[in-house]
Amino acid sequence: MTRFPLPVVAAAAALALTLGGCAAVEPGATAAPAPAPPERAGATASFSAVEPAELPNGVIGRATLVGADGSVAVSVEVSRSGGDLLEIRSLPAPGLDLARTELMLAPRPLADDATCFDEGLRYGLGTPVEGEPARWGVADLGEGDPSFLDEAVLVRGPAEATAETECFADIVARGPIEWTFAPLRTGLVASDAGATGGARGDATVEDGAPVAYTVARDDLLDEVAARFGITAGDLLYLNPDRSPPGGVSTLHPGEVLNLVVERR
């Protein structure tokens, strides 16, 4: 998947974003070129008209981060109290050395044998401190649905970084995030109505249904969404970890957009 570098931004808690790999279309998928009519007229889509469910209150996610020796290093709890903020609370193990550490959230699971996490998309929460939760705006994560985040990772930076430093974020402990709720748009299903003036790219099809879309030159976000019978907000929901140059509404030729809720 073609990716684009993310800027570093700041939220209520320190928030660092960098961009790298992304889930690819699964093996066996075939790219089906769509016809390219000269005008939009005649292309119709069956809109799914999915009303997003509301993010529940209370504890909505947990993670237990385990070190290489099998011991629990940090427990993490994500909760919502009815407002527009999420709280991410951390409970480090007694005696854990937290020097130069940072808690990261990853939208894709790391490789089982990974020892470094200094590239790829990362959401940084700062050093985990008991009683000092990190806070995030609900709307800032996946169109209000943070369940696309798969893993929590505690990393440690080098005591002294040099040009010879091989890793800038050694993994101290890690663990999967277990969400207590289903994705908020489970009924969202894309249906390809065919190419239009602002959506001329190719759809990748599996079992007769579109699962991904490759952006063509001059494509527009709204028209790509309309081609597949969904809204622009739905399309952003399905691709929560993209932030290309120019903003999330900017599409770039060759960029691959996911069209399946289970793969967001």
Q: What is the DSSP string of 51-114?
A: -PPPPPSEEEEEEEEEETTS-EEEEEEEEE-SSSEEEEEEEEPTT---TTEEEEEESSPPPTT-
pLDDT at 233 exceeding the cut of 50: yes
Structure confidence at residue 154 as a pLDDT band (50, 70, 90):
very high
Percent above pLDDT 70 for the chain: 80
pLDDT at 35 exceeding the cut of 60: no
- The pTM of this model reads 0.78
C-alpha distance across the termini of the chain, in Å: 13
**Domain edges within the chain:** 23-52+185-264, 58-179
- For 39-48, 101-110, 185-194, which range has the lowest pLDDT when averaged over its residues? 39-48
Residue 245: the pLDDT is: 67
Nearest to residue 125, comparing CAs of 143, 144, 145, 140? 140
- The sign of the CA dihedral 243, 30, 25, 226 is positive
pLDDT at 27 exceeding the cut of 60: no
Mean pLDDT for the stretch of residues 141-150: 93
Sheet holding 151-156: strands in order across? 123-124, 101-106, 151-156, 170-179, 58-67, 72-80, 85-92, 134-137
pLDDT at 173 exceeding the cut of 60: yes
pLDDT at 43 exceeding the cut of 60: no
Extract the tokens encoding 209.
């249904």
Give the mean pLDDT of the chain: 84
To the question of domain 58-179 being in CATH 2.40.50, the answer is: no
Task: Give pLDDT tens digits for 71-91.
Answer: 999 999 999 988 899 999 999
Residue 36: the pLDDT is: 43
